[in-house]
Structure 1
Amino acid sequence: MHDSLLPKYAGFSPLIWALINGEPEVGVTAHMMNDELDAGDIVRQEAVPVGPADTATDLFHKTVGLIAPVTIGALDLIASGRTEFTRQDRSGASFFHKRSIEDSRIDWSWPAEDLERLVRAQSEPYPSAFTFHRGARLEVLAAVVSTGRYGGTPGRIFYREGDGVVIVAGADARTGRNRGLAITRVRTEDGRELPATEYFTSMGGYLTNQP
């Protein structure tokens, strides 16, 4: 049993990687074992859609309910005497490594849409997405893609929009065509959790990848 729609997202942390990459659905796969990890023939597979506000925690709860029926259905097929199952199309296979703290670090050269999904993918109990402000680590707990388009340098603390504070994002942010990431909730290095509009008392300065 593997918690992805094989042959995509074999390996580790498939729900988190799939959410970061904007997949429209996730699921579970019952497959036969062979000499290669997560590469055996597919016995049964079921999917659920990824909602626009789903976190990795939400996707876990959506998919955990599939495990029992997929497992029982697969065992029933095997018990019926069936021996031929669906071969994986290895041309569409992808294999992902286990996530580490480095994978939660925010890179402001990413587009805001990707960063918003990263924040949702790093929901509790997973380690939160983080950045640095004035040398101190700052966890980003919630964020949305901005309504407006903001130009300049990636990481710039730029503008208050609604309930969030917009950070300029994207490698080509200088063009002024990009949405920003509107951070709405943060956690400081000393464990305080508060709205971003309270944390950022003034605009200006930068969020960075390193202290």
Structure 2
Amino acid sequence: MDQVLNVSGEYCLENNSITVLVDNDSWIIPYAHHLVQALKKKGFDAEFVDSADKVYPGWVNFILGCTRIIRSEVLQRNQHNLVVHESDLPKGRGFAPMAWQILEGKRSIPICLIEATDEVDAGDIWLSDVIELDGTELCDEWRSLQGQKTVELCLKFVSAYPTLKPVKQQGGEPSYYSRRIPADSRLDVDKSLREQFNLFRIVDNERYPAYFEMEGRVYTVQLFKVESKSGD
């Protein structure tokens, strides 16, 4: 999209339309709506959509938490189609990279803003940062950090766009995380809580709770953090 200078000497765009796409009932939807409102305050023509078919032509399409491959025809509607991905690309492409890395015991999770391409998570990197964890965050807590950083990267892109230069992914052969399924929340009754604590941290108590099997029965387990009061 062509850039021109306004009377204040700041850059502006001939087309400042921005779409924020989330194609499923994702936890990130409230953050997507927050991003839309923040973009509107900056003067952009921003809109939230829940289907790739609703993406309209414009400058940027932010693709957040999507589970479906975006068709080339849709990608061609915008100058930039940007995905937020939480891994040290090209390592960790694919699904739920944040959850898988927490399960691996990592506390510094790379996060980056990349250009969407026909190949999954293979696009150039526009921005990168790190989400720092202390190792105690449960699902809602680390998702909050992830959502906040997602909004931050998207807003940084539109603010710093004239100075940004995308870089190719480097680091050898790519690796891929698989889509998480309910069976991935299964506890091992022969292992300790300490050994399985990171699994407790990444399960969703409502959508896919931790569970175990015993004597032919299935039991679910929910974990909540109890915040201590001062003086206790």
CA contact (8 A) 1:14 1:96 kept: yes
Counterpart residue number, 1:38: 121
Q: TM-score, normalised by structure 1?
A: 0.57
Counterpart residue number, 1:4: 86
Counterparts of 1:50 and 1:126, CA distance in 2:
23
Matches within 5 A, 1:101-120: 101-107=182-188, 113-120=194-201
Counterpart residue number, 1:18: 101
CA contact (8 A) 2:114 2:126 kept: yes
Counterpart residue number, 2:151: 68
SS, match of residue 71 in structure 1: helix
Q: Shift in Å at residue 90 of structure 1?
A: 4.3
1:138 maps to which of 199, 219, 224: 219
CA contact (8 A) 2:127 2:153 kept: yes
Counterpart residue number, 2:76: none
CA contact (8 A) 2:85 2:111 kept: yes
1:72-99 residue CA offsets vs partner (Å, 9 max, x unmatched)? 2223443x164x4222124264311211
Whether 2:139 is the aligned partner of 1:56: answer yes
Is the alpha carbon distance of 1:48 and 1:92 closer, same or farther for their aligned partners in structure 2, counting shifts above 3 Å? farther
Matches within 5 A, 1:86-165: 86-91=167-172, 93-107=174-188, 113-142=194-223
Query: Which residue identity lines up with residue 85 of structure 1 in the other structure?
Result: P
Query: Which residue identity lines up with residue 26 of structure 1 in the other structure?
Result: I
CA contact (8 A) 1:30 1:44 kept: yes
Identical counterparts, % of pairs: 18
Of residues 16-25 and 118-127 in structure 1, the stretch that sits farther from structure 2 once superposed is 118-127
1:98-147 residue CA offsets vs partner (Å, 9 max, x unmatched)? 1111111224576765521111211324411111122211123249xxxx
SS, match of residue 28 in structure 1: strand
Counterparts of 2:106 and 2:129, CA distance in 1:
15
2:111 maps to which of 17, 28, 52: 28
Query: Which residue identity lines up with residue 146 of structure 2 in the other structure?
Result: T
Matches within 5 A, 1:165-204: none
Runs of 5+ unmatched residues, structure 1: 144-211
1:28-80 residue CA offsets vs partner (Å, 9 max, x unmatched)? 321123332111111112222122211122111011111222112223443x1
Q: TM-score, normalised by structure 2?
A: 0.53
CA contact (8 A) 1:130 1:140 kept: yes
Runs of 5+ unmatched residues, structure 2: 1-82, 225-232
Greater than 4 Å deviation, 4+ residue runs: 108-114
